[in-house]
Amino acid sequence: MTATNKTPEPSGQVSDAVRGNWVDHLAPAESRPYLRLSRADRPIGTWLLLLPCLWGVLLAANATGWRLFDLWIIVGCAAGAWLMRGAGCTWNDITDRDIDARVARTRSRPIPSGQVTVKQAMIWLGAQALVSFGILMTFNWNAVVLGILSLALVAIYPFAKRFTWWPQVFLGLAFNWGALLAWTAHTGALSLAPVLLYFGGIAWTIFYDTIYAHQDKEDDALIGVKSTARLFGDDTHQILRLFLILTMILLTAAVVAAMIDGAGLISMAIGVAGVWAMGWHMSWQLRRLNTNDPDTCLFLFRANRDTGLIPALFLAVALLV
């Protein structure tokens, strides 16, 4: 029997894209390279950017009361997460185009594979950022300022792996900024609770992105790219367990700080239970983790959508109590 009956992969498909994704099969052909630049064929990044936003607005609502505008904050953050994740990935691919061409997993991306030029990518970057800015302007002024400040982190992140063994920290700083922004969009100002939430999210990001980085550690070593996966090496399980514990401590403290005065004890207990359920899911990941198996690393990285949804769902339930 021959393999002639196998359905061919769509032209231009990125190697680590979700198979059967809508971009490769349903999007107009001329739009596909740009949607691939935005990682629309790999939605996990949008989820990981959105989830801290959901935490922020839901925790704020538990602290001060649900408002109708919170629905728009959630919708606006969802659209903004898709757009800014796309803009950030486009910027990342522009700055990393020479590195991506030398790594097996990334050489099929649109720029190194020749699907788009750098100039075209820059125009696409600007378009995404402009629409995202329009959404940001519907929030209060303090939230707008926070959104503008986040651009510095987005700009710096692609270069972090060139000068530090901890690029995952810079990713965490950028990806969890939405917790601060969404809280401020609801309350108008920052306080201790969203700051604790922010740092808890950073610890979680180091956890999941270290798992992700183990896919590329051999290529990274050859070309001199730094990561916590290379830094932690054989001690990855033990060190990630510490970040798991740190995540739980900081997020628990955030829930208590936010809800100790503005919500009942039952609601606060539900919020804390959500954090601990998230910790259980992270523990499950560690039990499954094989840092020498790229497929397992990618599977567990993608599982962090569910990890982050757990506390969001618990906080939503707490609003109903």
Residue 10: its pLDDT value, please?
A: 56
> 3-state class of 35 per DSSP?
helix
Q: How far apart are CA 59 and CA 62, in angstroms?
A: 5
pLDDT tens for residues 175-221?
A: 999 999 999 999 999 999 999 999 999 999 999 999 999 998 988 88
Q: Supply 15's token pair.
A: 């190697």
First and final C-alpha spacing in the chain:
61
Write the DSSP symbol of residue 110. T
Query: Do 168 and 227 contact (CB within 8 A), yes or no?
Result: yes
Half-sphere exposure of 199 (CA within 13 A, CB side): 12
Q: Supply 130's token pair.
A: 């402009």
* Sign of the alpha-carbon dihedral angle for 90, 91, 94, 98: negative
Write the DSSP symbol of residue 189. S
Confidence of residue 16 (pLDDT cuts 50, 70, 90): low
- Write down the CATH number for the domain with range 37-320: 1.10.357.140
* Burial zone of 5 (CB within 10 Å; 0-12 exposed, 13-18 middle, 19+ buried): exposed
Average pLDDT, integer, range 18-32: 84
Confidence of residue 257 (pLDDT cuts 50, 70, 90): very high
Confidence of residue 7 (pLDDT cuts 50, 70, 90): very low
pLDDT tens for residues 41-82?
A: 888 999 999 999 999 999 999 999 999 999 999 999 999 999
Q: What is the pTM of this model?
A: 0.90
Q: How far apart are CA 12 and CA 111, in angstroms?
A: 11
Confidence of residue 4 (pLDDT cuts 50, 70, 90): very low
Radius of gyration of the CA atoms of the chain, in A = 20
pLDDT tens for residues 82-127?
A: 999 999 989 988 988 887 788 777 788 888 888 899 999 999 999 9
Residue 21: how many CB atoms within 10 A of its CB? 19
Q: What is the residue extent of each domain of the chain?
A: 37-320
Greatest CA separation found in the chain? 69
3-state secondary structure 146-168: HHHHHHHHHHHHHHHHHHCCCHH
Query: Do 144 and 207 contact (CB within 8 A), yes or no?
Result: no
Report the chain's mean pLDDT, rounded to a whole number.
91
Query: Do 183 and 56 contact (CB within 8 A), yes or no?
Result: yes
Cα 175 versus chain centre, distance: 5
